[in-house]
Structure 1
């Protein structure tokens, strides 16, 4: 059974299982909305960070852009992010059209995350 996301609003997605279903079988639009809904509904920082880091390399520009933006939202909500992994993953993105989004997201993250000597999130 596919969970259909509302095209005009981001539903709160509270289930990892539902997110997996959408990521596996949903349209690019469904995936985009599910990524957004998950950042507000699933309270598992490490798990979400790994999902978003995977989807920043998605073949669809809008899905990848959404995943990048969601990493910024994740950092804002949880006040932490694994900067080492984030920088490494962002450096591997080759799509030049995503570079402004990456820059904006990094700037946002620096506002919300205290930069320690080693801000590698738990």
Structure 2
């Protein structure tokens, strides 16, 4: 679907923007763009999903979200990062990583670089409301 993998993040969130800038320093060729500027339909995803989690779109078109997106990003990097990605994908660690990711997503406005604009309305927070 795409030549390079794509990292899609929330450009309205200071914490997310800083995190994306850190990801750009990793040894991997990728495109980085905000969900607000991305053609989400072309990536077979939605604004609702992009509001809730960082997305990694593999060249195959497969979309990963949240902690799985971070793991896939790391697996795509040059060594030693793929080891970290594999660890994050391990069954027990994956569950813990997803829990930590969700906590960070819900509290990103409180974290360094976060602003009140980063706070998701209650109905849009991960694990709440209908995301179908």
State the TM-score bracket (shorter-chain normalisation): 0.3 to 0.5
Normalising by structure 2, report the TM-score. 0.31
Higher relative contact order (CA 8 A, sep 6+): 2
- The structure with the largest strand share of the pair is 2
- The structure with the largest helix share of the pair is 1
